[in-house]
Amino acid sequence: MDVVTTVAALQRRADAERAAGRRIALVPTMGALHAGHASLVKIARERADMVCVSIFVNPTQFDDPNDLAAYPRTFEADLAVCRDAGVDVVFAPDAREMYPDGAQTTVEVGALAEPLCGASRPGHFRGVATVVTKLLGAAKPHVAVFGEKDYQQLAVIRRLARDLLLDIAIVGAPTLREPDGLALSSRNRRLDPESRRQAVVLVRALDAAEAAVAGGERDRERLLALVREQIAAAPRARIDYAELRDAHSLALAPERLDDPTVLALAVFVDSAPQPVRLIDNRVLHPRTRGGLSS
């Protein structure tokens, strides 16, 4: 496994791979790797001959400097995860490499980036779209793999690739979960034991909403009330947002659900030394699994 730290070195490697007729897959990460990231590498390996994992804590997508400072950085452990997963190249640039002195260009996606995390974290998706565009330019992949846990991020990146005419397949990977259902996340390691226990309230809320839809519930506000009730059962949890959105456009869901709808959650879980913000989602299907529209 090779570790490269400059864009020029990664581009040379990509050019050589392409000249040899080999397909390249990119898995962008911010490090603190876990089994969920390894699952992305597995999917990438199925679609390419060479797999590159980027490890870069992108400062421009953090609206809170404290959140950026607290983000876990575990580079040596990350390299071990990459070796075990069969990664070919790790791209580990510093901030100056990704944002050279005098850099002025940013990338913005419109309506898809406005609600949910876009509303609660101003500038977040500008930072995401900009760094992903840079990473795609550096790695020159044929395919890039992103986790579905970050549902809005995946939608934004797919839109970006279409709008900028990038000849790159954007692949979504299913969310991996702990045995108790909590979505795997780099942020989970910042939870103290009691906060970790209460954090499962996110998946309980998703399960309750899915069960209600399967039982015939279609009313948007009643479903959201159910979600809020579930989360309120955890004293350390407070909602950043809990919304029902069209699964494709992310427009606000109608008062009565009929088409596939994503239930998107962002919840702060109080933990020392500071709260941890967790996200999760579930696509609800009102027309299926015993939930035929009436």
- 3-state DSSP of 110-163: CHHHCCCHHHHCCCHHHHHHHHHHHHHHHHCCCEEEEECCCHHHHHHHHHHHHH
Which is nearest to 282 in space by CA: 268, 267, 266, 262?
A: 262
What are the φ/ψ torsions at residue 92 (nearest 5 degrees)?
-130, 75
The beta-strand segments (E) located in 56-106 are 89-91
Closest by CA to 135, choosing from 81, 91, 172, is: 91
| CB 1, CB 88: distance < 8 Å | yes
60: which residues sit within 8 A by CB, 6+ positions away? 99, 106, 123, 126, 127, 130, 131
Structure-token match 């070796």, residue found:
83
Q: Which residues form the catalytic set?
A: 37
Residues, the chain: 294
The string over 178-215, giving b where at least 16 C-beta atoms fall within 10 Å of a residue's C-beta and e elsewhere, is beeebbbbbbbebbeeebbebbbbbbbbbebbbebbee
